[in-house]
Amino acid sequence: MAPSLYIHIPFCAKKCLYCDFYSAVSQEKLASDYIQVLIKQIREIGAPVSSIYIGGGTPSVLGINLLGPLLKSLKKIFTPGIEFTIEVNGKL
């Protein structure tokens, strides 16, 4: 069985008092740089994965301009029937 992949998006619209995960208020330049690094790392993954979970933070705070390229880069490591989950909170 192929391994699973967890991608942590450490950005939120605001920091919630109950959250114990590392996260920060989203800043467009920092988020863009972070996604570019993730895309480079994804290209280095040599084997397919059986599941992908994108969490955080609030991944949907990135918007389609940053999530789109990230999701496109993940297509190369998908296996048939992959389980894919992304946390969404608010507008995408």
**Residue range 16-50, pLDDT digits in tens:** 888 788 888 889 999 999 999 999 999 898 778 88
C-alpha pair distances (Å), 63 with each of 52, 57, 59, 71, 82: 19, 13, 8, 12, 23
Summarised one tens digit per residue, pLDDT across range 58-85 is: 898 998 999 999 999 988 777 778 899 9
Whether residue 79 is contained in a domain is answered as yes
Query: What is the end-to-end Cα distance of the chain in Å, rounded?
Result: 32
The parent domain of residue 27 ranges over 4-86
Report which residue type is found at 77. Answer: I
Provide the whole-model pTM.
0.85
Residue 29 half-sphere exposure toward CB, CA atoms < 13 A: 0
Whether residue 91 is contained in a domain is answered as no
Number of domains in the chain: 1
Whether residue 43 is contained in a domain is answered as yes
Whether residue 27 is contained in a domain is answered as yes
Whether residue 35 is contained in a domain is answered as yes
Whether residue 92 is contained in a domain is answered as no
